[in-house]
Structure 1
Amino acid sequence: MSPSMTPARRRRAANNGIAVVVSAVMIFPVYWMLATAFKQRGHILSAVPQFFPWPISLENFRRALGKPHFWVFVGNSLTVTLSSVVLSLVIALFAAIAIARFRFHGRRALMAVLVLVQMVPMSAMVIPVYLMLRSINALDYLPGLVLTYMTFVLPFTIWTLRGFVEGVPVELEEAALVDGCGRLQMYVRVLLPLLMPGIVATSIFAFVNAWDDYLFAYVIMKSQANYTLPVWLVSFKTAESVDYGAMIAASTIFSIPVLVFFLLVQRRLVGGMTSGAVKG
């Protein structure tokens, strides 16, 4: 660093350097997955690392997409994931408004339960969830998997949205009611736009939770026609060998919907909507 730099500039330069190092460490596994997906089969397990795939090959993607029933698994994953996200957000939104705006017996106990439930490891719930779904004949059934994902997403979603609802001034709602809005109109036109950052944040969590899950999809689904993409990824490993190239190419394909979903909603993650709404 230059001796003429002020202490503030030195701190800024040090912080930027740390940020660059941390970003590189986090991004490198993703880059390595992409680079490996485009390598030729003989270069993937080479003793000498090849950081840049050359010549570029699409053979791994052809083998991955050539697997039977690929589009069936895509449809199953999209159905389960989108259903989980939409239903969780609708239920959590009403629950968060009720907890934040109304006072009722058991409110504090409910909030404590929401926190405690999130501390339970998902793996510890495999057997109870399996027995519950078996008792209602929901095993090997996509709605049963949706119900399972909602069980784990709802506590976090309700707790997060409750904080956003409490951050919205009650005066905005009262002003809308005075101006002639009905209660439903007030929720749709005033409260809902202000809650969009929280809705987007929780939708990302719900989407990733449902899209990436392997354990429950593997345990609950028995027929191949109901498998989701995480279970499909295991098919590249057989008793004889593992097709690493096709598996990594499949993992790359599997990551694309999450990236697309995030790009579609990332603008809504910017906060400050409440402060902007009260101006004027």
Structure 2
Amino acid sequence: MTVIANPRQRQRRTRTTRQRTLWNVFAIVLGLLWAFPVYWMINSSMLPDSKLLNETPTFFPAAPDLAAFAGVFTDKQFWSSLRMSLTITLIAVGLSLVSACLAALALSRLRFLGRRWVIVAVLVIQMIPTEAIFISQYKMLDSWNLLNSALGLAILYAGTVLPFITWMLKGFIDGVPVELEESAMVSGCTRTGAFFRITLPLLGPGLVATGVFGFLAAWNEFTLALVMLTKAGTTTLPLWLQNFQTQNRGTDWGGVMAGSTAIAIPVIILFLIVQNQMSKGMVAGAVKG
């Protein structure tokens, strides 16, 4: 038996199909606009200087020139800066995640006097410009003998992202029912044991999402590293890019683009590894209960 849809149903389906098509087209256009700067960076890194500085843009290089990449990967300072950036970033992410997880747990689970003011203070601290506290941070590291060191800069990076990561993790912990911890405590677990056995495994996507944010913030930071790393040979990758700008020859844009592409490779690898967990974390952070 064939069921014939009435005209209203056909119009509704047609309207839904058109709306879905328009949204798909809009998403594709938005994606292309987002991806174009990345493509232009990679494209420019494979162009010779004659075409790179030409007024007529070259969108598709017929004969890619990899001389800029050869100059990047044969530069010893690139590899030393890469090790410095990785060390600083990993320490900063580890410190910030551990500290933020404990702080978020206290703000989410404990009820103490002044709790709301502490939450407000976390947001207010996040609003303070980093440049406003450069002098105090410099003096602090100098008194600790941590200037020009990976640990000193990692501590500053961890403190910079700590308020925002704490706020993010609080939302994830709020999404885990407190009854799960209470059931574990009734079964004999301590509060700490209930957190590590019950809540912490459920925070995996949230930890990944916040960890990626901390990684990007530390990996791409420039001004704080410029102030705190003044010794020759102690540079991060963003500082290393300055080598392509000289007073006599100007800016080597091919080298800048090739170096920027090389710096983006670890970030791309990180996203490929954690993309599934990160997408779960973003969805979990938007749902409570």
Q: TM-score, normalised by structure 2?
A: 0.88
What residue identity is the alignment partner of 2:79?
Answer: W
Which residue pairs with 2:273 in the alignment?
A: 264
2-structure distance, mates of 1:242, 1:169: 55
1-structure distance, mates of 2:71, 2:252: 9
Which residue pairs with 1:244 in the alignment?
A: 253
**More divergent stretch after superposition (137-146 vs 165-174):** 137-146
Secondary structure (helix, strand or coil) at the match of 1:251 reads helix
**More divergent stretch after superposition (241-250 vs 205-214):** 241-250
Equivalent pair of 1:38/1:53 in contact (CA under 8 Å):
yes
Match of 1:141 among 141, 144, 149: 149
2-structure distance, mates of 1:16, 1:223: 51
2-structure distance, mates of 1:120, 1:273: 28
The CA deviation at 1:177 is: 2.9
1:71-127 Cα deviation digits (max 9, x unpaired)? 111110000000000111011111111111111222111111100111122233323
Match of 1:189 among 181, 197, 200: 197
The CA deviation at 1:273 is: 6.8
What residue identity is the alignment partner of 1:153?
Answer: V
Equivalent pair of 2:125/2:163 in contact (CA under 8 Å):
yes
2-structure distance, mates of 1:224, 1:186: 49
**More divergent stretch after superposition (178-187 vs 46-55):** 178-187
1-structure distance, mates of 2:135, 2:284: 43
2-structure distance, mates of 1:124, 1:10: 51
**More divergent stretch after superposition (54-63 vs 130-139):** 130-139
Match of 1:83 among 83, 87, 91: 91
1:49-71 Cα deviation digits (max 9, x unpaired)? 11112202211101122334221
Rg larger in 1 or in 2?
Answer: 2
1-structure distance, mates of 2:234, 2:117: 38
Equivalent residues, number: 273
Which residue pairs with 1:207 in the alignment?
A: 215
2-structure distance, mates of 1:146, 1:130: 13
Match of 2:225 among 197, 217, 238: 217
1-structure distance, mates of 2:206, 2:189: 24
Match of 1:52 among 51, 57, 60: 60
Which residue pairs with 2:31 in the alignment?
A: 23
2-structure distance, mates of 1:235, 1:127: 26
Equivalent pair of 1:89/1:203 in contact (CA under 8 Å):
yes
Q: RMSD over aligned Cα, in angstroms?
A: 2.1
Equivalent pair of 1:64/1:247 in contact (CA under 8 Å):
no
The CA deviation at 1:174 is: 1.9
1:220-240 Cα deviation digits (max 9, x unpaired)? 001122211110001110111
Which residues in structure 2 correspond to 1:2-151 (within 5 Å)?
6-151=14-159
What residue identity is the alignment partner of 1:257?
Answer: P
2-structure distance, mates of 1:76, 1:92: 24
The CA deviation at 1:181 is: 4.2
Secondary structure (helix, strand or coil) at the match of 1:46 reads coil
| Residues 1:174 and 2:182 aligned together | yes
